[in-house]
Amino acid sequence: MAPTAVVTRRGGERLRAGHPWIYRSDVVSVDAAPGDLVRVSTERGRPLGSALWSDASQISLRFVSAEPPPDDERAFFRARLEAAIAYRATLGIDGTACRLVHGEADRLPALIVDRYADWLVIQTLCQGMDRRAAALTDLLVELVRPAGILARNDPKVRRLEGLEERVDVVYGDVPDRVPVRMGSVHVDVDLRHGQKTGLFLDQQENHAVAARYARGRALDAFSYQGGFALQMAPRCASVLAIDSSAAAVAAIQENARQNGAANVEAREANVFDELRELEVSGAEFDTIVLDPPAFARNRAAVPRALAGYKEINLRALKLLSPGGHLVTCSCSYNVDEPLFLEVVTQAAADAGVTAALVEKRMQARDHPVLVGVPETHYLKCFVVRRV
Protein backbone atom coordinates (compact mmCIF):
# COMPACT_ATOMS: atom_id res chain seq x y z
CA MET A 1 0.00 0.00 0.00
CA ALA A 2 1.17 3.54 -0.78
CA PRO A 3 2.06 5.68 2.26
CA THR A 4 -0.87 7.78 3.43
CA ALA A 5 -1.76 10.53 5.88
CA VAL A 6 -5.10 11.88 7.05
CA VAL A 7 -5.44 15.45 8.30
CA THR A 8 -8.11 17.48 10.05
CA ARG A 9 -10.48 19.90 8.38
CA ARG A 10 -8.37 22.75 9.77
CA GLY A 11 -5.29 21.29 8.12
CA GLY A 12 -7.10 21.02 4.81
CA GLU A 13 -8.28 24.62 5.04
CA ARG A 14 -4.74 25.77 5.75
CA LEU A 15 -3.55 24.02 2.63
CA ARG A 16 -6.33 25.45 0.48
CA ALA A 17 -5.43 28.93 1.76
CA GLY A 18 -2.02 28.46 0.16
CA HIS A 19 0.20 27.29 3.02
CA PRO A 20 2.08 24.05 2.27
CA TRP A 21 2.73 23.01 5.89
CA ILE A 22 0.54 20.81 8.07
CA TYR A 23 1.45 20.72 11.75
CA ARG A 24 1.41 17.64 13.94
CA SER A 25 -1.70 18.82 15.78
CA ASP A 26 -3.66 18.54 12.52
CA VAL A 27 -2.48 15.05 11.57
CA VAL A 28 -5.14 12.47 12.39
CA SER A 29 -3.33 9.33 11.27
CA VAL A 30 -0.30 8.26 9.23
CA ASP A 31 0.79 5.02 7.62
CA ALA A 32 4.27 5.91 6.45
CA ALA A 33 7.99 5.75 7.23
CA PRO A 34 10.03 8.87 8.06
CA GLY A 35 10.68 10.86 4.89
CA ASP A 36 8.06 9.11 2.78
CA LEU A 37 6.20 10.99 0.08
CA VAL A 38 2.63 10.33 1.20
CA ARG A 39 -0.85 10.64 -0.26
CA VAL A 40 -2.80 13.08 1.94
CA SER A 41 -6.55 13.29 2.42
CA THR A 42 -9.07 14.79 4.82
CA GLU A 43 -11.02 12.79 7.38
CA ARG A 44 -13.89 12.67 4.87
CA GLY A 45 -11.61 11.16 2.26
CA ARG A 46 -11.12 14.25 0.12
CA PRO A 47 -7.69 14.03 -1.61
CA LEU A 48 -5.37 16.96 -0.91
CA GLY A 49 -2.21 15.92 -2.74
CA SER A 50 1.21 14.61 -1.78
CA ALA A 51 3.58 15.69 0.95
CA LEU A 52 6.85 14.74 2.63
CA TRP A 53 6.23 13.15 6.03
CA SER A 54 8.34 13.81 9.13
CA ASP A 55 7.86 11.81 12.31
CA ALA A 56 10.03 14.21 14.36
CA SER A 57 9.21 17.80 13.41
CA GLN A 58 6.16 19.78 14.43
CA ILE A 59 5.91 20.52 10.71
CA SER A 60 4.77 17.00 9.96
CA LEU A 61 3.73 17.36 6.32
CA ARG A 62 5.37 19.55 3.68
CA PHE A 63 3.32 19.53 0.50
CA VAL A 64 5.02 19.14 -2.86
CA SER A 65 1.98 18.77 -5.13
CA ALA A 66 -1.81 18.89 -5.31
CA GLU A 67 -1.56 15.60 -7.20
CA PRO A 68 -0.99 12.08 -5.82
CA PRO A 69 2.64 10.97 -5.36
CA PRO A 70 4.29 10.49 -8.77
CA ASP A 71 5.09 7.06 -10.15
CA ASP A 72 8.55 8.30 -11.16
CA GLU A 73 10.07 10.37 -8.34
CA ARG A 74 13.29 10.99 -10.23
CA ALA A 75 11.48 12.57 -13.17
CA PHE A 76 9.29 14.57 -10.78
CA PHE A 77 12.19 16.11 -8.86
CA ARG A 78 14.22 16.63 -12.03
CA ALA A 79 11.40 18.72 -13.49
CA ARG A 80 11.16 20.81 -10.31
CA LEU A 81 14.93 21.42 -10.29
CA GLU A 82 14.91 22.32 -13.98
CA ALA A 83 12.14 24.87 -13.42
CA ALA A 84 13.97 26.48 -10.47
CA ILE A 85 17.25 26.73 -12.37
CA ALA A 86 15.52 28.07 -15.48
CA TYR A 87 13.86 30.83 -13.43
CA ARG A 88 17.24 32.06 -12.14
CA ALA A 89 18.49 32.24 -15.71
CA THR A 90 15.79 34.86 -16.43
CA LEU A 91 16.91 37.22 -13.66
CA GLY A 92 20.01 38.60 -15.33
CA ILE A 93 22.04 38.29 -12.13
CA ASP A 94 25.23 40.30 -12.44
CA GLY A 95 27.58 37.87 -10.77
CA THR A 96 28.63 34.27 -10.36
CA ALA A 97 26.82 33.47 -7.10
CA CYS A 98 23.09 32.99 -6.61
CA ARG A 99 20.44 30.76 -5.06
CA LEU A 100 19.21 28.09 -7.48
CA VAL A 101 16.60 26.48 -5.21
CA HIS A 102 14.75 28.28 -2.43
CA GLY A 103 12.77 25.55 -0.70
CA GLU A 104 9.00 25.94 -0.63
CA ALA A 105 9.07 28.88 -3.05
CA ASP A 106 10.34 26.47 -5.72
CA ARG A 107 7.96 23.68 -4.62
CA LEU A 108 10.96 21.80 -3.25
CA PRO A 109 10.33 22.12 0.49
CA ALA A 110 13.30 22.30 2.85
CA LEU A 111 15.79 22.12 -0.02
CA ILE A 112 18.38 24.85 -0.55
CA VAL A 113 20.83 24.93 -3.44
CA ASP A 114 23.26 27.83 -3.82
CA ARG A 115 25.68 28.30 -6.68
CA TYR A 116 29.13 29.79 -6.15
CA ALA A 117 30.83 29.98 -9.55
CA ASP A 118 31.48 26.35 -10.55
CA TRP A 119 30.49 24.87 -7.18
CA LEU A 120 27.18 24.12 -5.48
CA VAL A 121 26.18 24.06 -1.82
CA ILE A 122 23.15 21.95 -0.95
CA GLN A 123 21.11 21.80 2.27
CA THR A 124 18.46 19.16 2.95
CA LEU A 125 16.56 20.42 5.98
CA CYS A 126 13.77 17.87 6.45
CA GLN A 127 13.64 14.09 6.61
CA GLY A 128 12.11 13.73 3.17
CA MET A 129 14.71 15.80 1.34
CA ASP A 130 17.56 14.35 3.39
CA ARG A 131 16.49 10.83 2.41
CA ARG A 132 16.66 11.90 -1.24
CA ALA A 133 19.96 13.77 -0.93
CA ALA A 134 21.93 11.33 -3.08
CA ALA A 135 19.32 11.37 -5.83
CA LEU A 136 19.11 15.17 -5.74
CA THR A 137 22.89 15.38 -5.96
CA ASP A 138 22.91 13.15 -9.04
CA LEU A 139 20.25 15.31 -10.68
CA LEU A 140 22.16 18.51 -9.94
CA VAL A 141 25.30 17.01 -11.46
CA GLU A 142 23.33 16.25 -14.62
CA LEU A 143 21.65 19.65 -14.82
CA VAL A 144 24.40 22.03 -13.68
CA ARG A 145 27.68 20.14 -14.27
CA PRO A 146 29.41 21.63 -11.22
CA ALA A 147 33.05 21.06 -10.31
CA GLY A 148 31.93 19.97 -6.85
CA ILE A 149 29.00 19.89 -4.45
CA LEU A 150 29.20 20.54 -0.72
CA ALA A 151 26.39 19.31 1.55
CA ARG A 152 26.33 22.08 4.16
CA ASN A 153 23.97 20.33 6.55
CA ASP A 154 24.99 22.09 9.74
CA PRO A 155 21.94 24.36 10.43
CA LYS A 156 20.46 23.75 13.87
CA VAL A 157 16.99 23.43 12.34
CA ARG A 158 17.95 19.89 11.31
CA ARG A 159 17.76 18.92 14.99
CA LEU A 160 14.00 19.47 14.83
CA GLU A 161 13.88 16.75 12.18
CA GLY A 162 16.04 14.36 14.18
CA LEU A 163 18.82 14.79 11.62
CA GLU A 164 22.56 14.95 12.21
CA GLU A 165 24.46 18.19 11.67
CA ARG A 166 27.36 17.61 9.31
CA VAL A 167 29.30 19.02 6.35
CA ASP A 168 30.38 16.70 3.52
CA VAL A 169 31.72 16.92 0.00
CA VAL A 170 29.21 14.78 -1.92
CA TYR A 171 30.54 15.28 -5.44
CA GLY A 172 33.85 16.27 -7.01
CA ASP A 173 36.23 18.53 -5.14
CA VAL A 174 35.44 21.66 -3.16
CA PRO A 175 38.37 23.99 -2.37
CA ASP A 176 38.76 25.78 0.94
CA ARG A 177 37.89 29.09 -0.71
CA VAL A 178 35.94 29.77 -3.90
CA PRO A 179 36.35 33.02 -5.89
CA VAL A 180 33.07 34.67 -6.93
CA ARG A 181 32.01 37.95 -8.49
CA MET A 182 29.07 40.08 -7.35
CA GLY A 183 28.71 42.98 -9.73
CA SER A 184 32.15 44.58 -9.87
CA VAL A 185 33.21 43.11 -6.52
CA HIS A 186 35.36 39.96 -6.32
CA VAL A 187 35.57 37.94 -3.09
CA ASP A 188 36.80 34.54 -1.95
CA VAL A 189 34.12 32.54 -0.13
CA ASP A 190 34.58 29.98 2.61
CA LEU A 191 31.79 27.53 1.77
CA ARG A 192 32.44 25.28 4.78
CA HIS A 193 32.47 27.86 7.56
CA GLY A 194 30.92 31.07 6.21
CA GLN A 195 27.51 32.33 7.34
CA LYS A 196 24.57 30.46 5.79
CA THR A 197 26.15 28.69 2.80
CA GLY A 198 29.08 31.09 2.58
CA LEU A 199 27.58 34.52 1.85
CA PHE A 200 24.33 36.39 2.46
CA LEU A 201 23.14 35.94 -1.10
CA ASP A 202 19.70 37.26 -0.16
CA GLN A 203 21.21 40.76 0.21
CA GLN A 204 22.95 40.81 -3.16
CA GLU A 205 20.42 43.08 -4.88
CA ASN A 206 20.23 45.36 -1.84
CA HIS A 207 24.02 45.75 -1.96
CA ALA A 208 23.63 47.18 -5.46
CA VAL A 209 20.76 49.44 -4.37
CA ALA A 210 22.81 50.84 -1.48
CA ALA A 211 25.61 51.61 -3.94
CA ARG A 212 23.23 53.70 -6.05
CA TYR A 213 22.43 55.92 -3.07
CA ALA A 214 25.95 55.95 -1.63
CA ARG A 215 28.03 59.13 -1.49
CA GLY A 216 30.45 60.99 0.75
CA ARG A 217 31.39 59.36 4.00
CA ALA A 218 29.69 55.97 4.51
CA LEU A 219 29.17 53.62 7.44
CA ASP A 220 28.41 49.90 7.10
CA ALA A 221 27.36 48.48 10.48
CA PHE A 222 27.13 44.71 11.13
CA SER A 223 29.18 44.44 7.96
CA TYR A 224 30.08 40.70 8.00
CA GLN A 225 32.52 40.38 5.07
CA GLY A 226 31.77 43.83 3.67
CA GLY A 227 29.11 43.14 1.04
CA PHE A 228 27.58 46.60 1.40
CA ALA A 229 30.87 48.37 2.10
CA LEU A 230 32.64 47.04 -1.00
CA GLN A 231 29.74 47.89 -3.31
CA MET A 232 29.54 51.44 -1.91
CA ALA A 233 33.29 52.09 -1.90
CA PRO A 234 33.68 53.29 -5.53
CA ARG A 235 31.02 55.98 -4.96
CA CYS A 236 32.21 57.18 -1.55
CA ALA A 237 35.12 59.18 -0.20
CA SER A 238 35.47 56.71 2.66
CA VAL A 239 33.67 53.70 4.12
CA LEU A 240 33.85 52.58 7.74
CA ALA A 241 32.83 48.92 8.17
CA ILE A 242 32.10 47.72 11.72
CA ASP A 243 31.61 44.15 12.91
CA SER A 244 32.10 42.42 16.26
CA SER A 245 33.81 39.40 14.65
CA ALA A 246 37.58 39.52 14.26
CA ALA A 247 37.34 36.96 11.46
CA ALA A 248 34.79 39.11 9.60
CA VAL A 249 36.97 42.20 9.96
CA ALA A 250 39.97 40.29 8.62
CA ALA A 251 37.84 39.14 5.66
CA ILE A 252 36.74 42.73 4.95
CA GLN A 253 40.34 43.89 4.97
CA GLU A 254 41.38 41.14 2.57
CA ASN A 255 38.37 41.72 0.30
CA ALA A 256 39.07 45.46 0.25
CA ARG A 257 42.72 44.78 -0.68
CA GLN A 258 41.67 42.35 -3.42
CA ASN A 259 39.28 44.93 -4.91
CA GLY A 260 41.63 47.86 -4.59
CA ALA A 261 39.26 49.61 -2.17
CA ALA A 262 41.83 51.60 -0.21
CA ASN A 263 39.09 53.87 1.17
CA VAL A 264 37.51 51.05 3.24
CA GLU A 265 38.40 50.89 6.93
CA ALA A 266 37.35 47.77 8.87
CA ARG A 267 36.91 48.06 12.63
CA GLU A 268 36.24 45.32 15.18
CA ALA A 269 33.73 46.65 17.70
CA ASN A 270 30.34 46.16 19.32
CA VAL A 271 28.07 48.07 16.94
CA PHE A 272 25.74 49.35 19.69
CA ASP A 273 28.69 50.78 21.61
CA GLU A 274 30.39 52.14 18.52
CA LEU A 275 27.29 53.98 17.31
CA ARG A 276 27.03 55.71 20.68
CA GLU A 277 30.72 56.64 20.64
CA LEU A 278 30.48 57.99 17.11
CA GLU A 279 27.55 60.15 18.16
CA VAL A 280 29.41 61.49 21.18
CA SER A 281 32.42 62.31 18.99
CA GLY A 282 30.23 64.34 16.63
CA ALA A 283 30.76 62.06 13.65
CA GLU A 284 28.54 62.48 10.61
CA PHE A 285 27.91 60.19 7.63
CA ASP A 286 26.23 60.71 4.28
CA THR A 287 25.30 57.04 3.85
CA ILE A 288 24.64 54.45 6.57
CA VAL A 289 23.78 50.76 6.30
CA LEU A 290 22.39 48.72 9.19
CA ASP A 291 22.27 44.97 8.49
CA PRO A 292 22.15 43.26 11.88
CA PRO A 293 21.67 39.54 12.53
CA ALA A 294 18.19 38.35 13.46
CA PHE A 295 17.33 39.97 16.80
CA ALA A 296 14.09 37.94 17.18
CA ARG A 297 14.49 34.22 16.51
CA ASN A 298 11.16 33.51 18.20
CA ARG A 299 8.07 35.44 19.28
CA ALA A 300 9.21 35.69 22.87
CA ALA A 301 12.25 37.69 21.73
CA VAL A 302 10.24 40.31 19.82
CA PRO A 303 10.00 43.02 22.54
CA ARG A 304 13.74 42.96 23.14
CA ALA A 305 14.38 42.86 19.39
CA LEU A 306 12.23 45.94 18.82
CA ALA A 307 14.22 47.80 21.44
CA GLY A 308 17.45 46.80 19.71
CA TYR A 309 16.21 47.85 16.28
CA LYS A 310 15.01 51.17 17.64
CA GLU A 311 18.32 51.83 19.37
CA ILE A 312 20.50 51.31 16.30
CA ASN A 313 18.15 53.18 13.97
CA LEU A 314 17.89 56.12 16.35
CA ARG A 315 21.68 56.35 16.60
CA ALA A 316 22.09 56.01 12.85
CA LEU A 317 19.57 58.74 12.09
CA LYS A 318 21.36 61.08 14.47
CA LEU A 319 24.67 60.33 12.68
CA LEU A 320 23.13 60.81 9.23
CA SER A 321 23.73 64.14 7.52
CA PRO A 322 20.75 66.05 6.06
CA GLY A 323 20.04 64.67 2.59
CA GLY A 324 21.83 61.44 3.46
CA HIS A 325 20.42 57.94 3.14
CA LEU A 326 19.98 55.14 5.67
CA VAL A 327 19.62 51.58 4.36
CA THR A 328 18.19 49.66 7.30
CA CYS A 329 17.45 45.93 7.36
CA SER A 330 15.81 43.27 9.49
CA CYS A 331 16.01 39.54 8.81
CA SER A 332 13.81 38.65 11.79
CA TYR A 333 10.73 36.86 10.43
CA ASN A 334 8.90 37.56 13.70
CA VAL A 335 9.24 41.32 13.11
CA ASP A 336 7.07 41.91 10.05
CA GLU A 337 7.31 44.85 7.66
CA PRO A 338 4.65 47.09 9.30
CA LEU A 339 6.21 46.53 12.73
CA PHE A 340 9.71 47.25 11.44
CA LEU A 341 8.49 50.45 9.77
CA GLU A 342 6.87 51.48 13.03
CA VAL A 343 10.20 51.03 14.80
CA VAL A 344 12.02 53.18 12.23
CA THR A 345 9.28 55.82 12.50
CA GLN A 346 9.63 55.93 16.29
CA ALA A 347 13.42 56.10 15.99
CA ALA A 348 13.16 59.12 13.68
CA ALA A 349 10.77 60.86 16.07
CA ASP A 350 13.02 60.23 19.06
CA ALA A 351 16.07 61.34 17.08
CA GLY A 352 14.26 64.58 16.26
CA VAL A 353 14.77 64.22 12.51
CA THR A 354 12.42 64.25 9.54
CA ALA A 355 12.79 61.09 7.49
CA ALA A 356 11.29 60.07 4.15
CA LEU A 357 10.84 56.45 3.09
CA VAL A 358 12.38 56.16 -0.38
CA GLU A 359 12.19 52.42 -1.04
CA LYS A 360 10.79 49.26 0.52
CA ARG A 361 12.74 46.17 -0.42
CA MET A 362 13.05 42.50 0.58
CA GLN A 363 15.32 39.55 -0.19
CA ALA A 364 16.74 39.17 -3.69
CA ARG A 365 14.58 37.75 -6.47
CA ASP A 366 16.45 34.43 -6.41
CA HIS A 367 15.00 34.05 -2.86
CA PRO A 368 11.31 34.47 -3.84
CA VAL A 369 8.51 34.97 -1.33
CA LEU A 370 5.76 32.38 -1.62
CA VAL A 371 2.34 34.03 -1.60
CA GLY A 372 0.33 32.80 1.39
CA VAL A 373 3.43 31.75 3.32
CA PRO A 374 4.57 34.67 5.49
CA GLU A 375 7.53 32.65 6.78
CA THR A 376 9.19 33.09 3.38
CA HIS A 377 9.13 36.91 3.69
CA TYR A 378 11.80 37.30 6.32
CA LEU A 379 14.08 40.08 5.00
CA LYS A 380 12.92 43.69 5.17
CA CYS A 381 15.03 46.53 3.79
CA PHE A 382 14.07 50.21 3.86
CA VAL A 383 15.91 53.08 2.20
CA VAL A 384 15.27 56.20 4.27
CA ARG A 385 16.37 59.75 3.45
CA ARG A 386 16.95 62.32 6.14
CA VAL A 387 15.13 65.39 4.87
Phi, psi of 241, rounded to the nearest 5 degrees: -105, 130
- Residue 331 annotated among the catalytic residues of the structure: yes
Q: Which residues, in sequence order, are bridge partners of residue 6?
A: 29, 41
Tell me which of 98, 126, 329, 331 is the catalytic residue. 331
**Do residues 34 and 387 make contact, with C-beta atoms less than 8 angstroms apart?**
no
Catalytic residues: 331
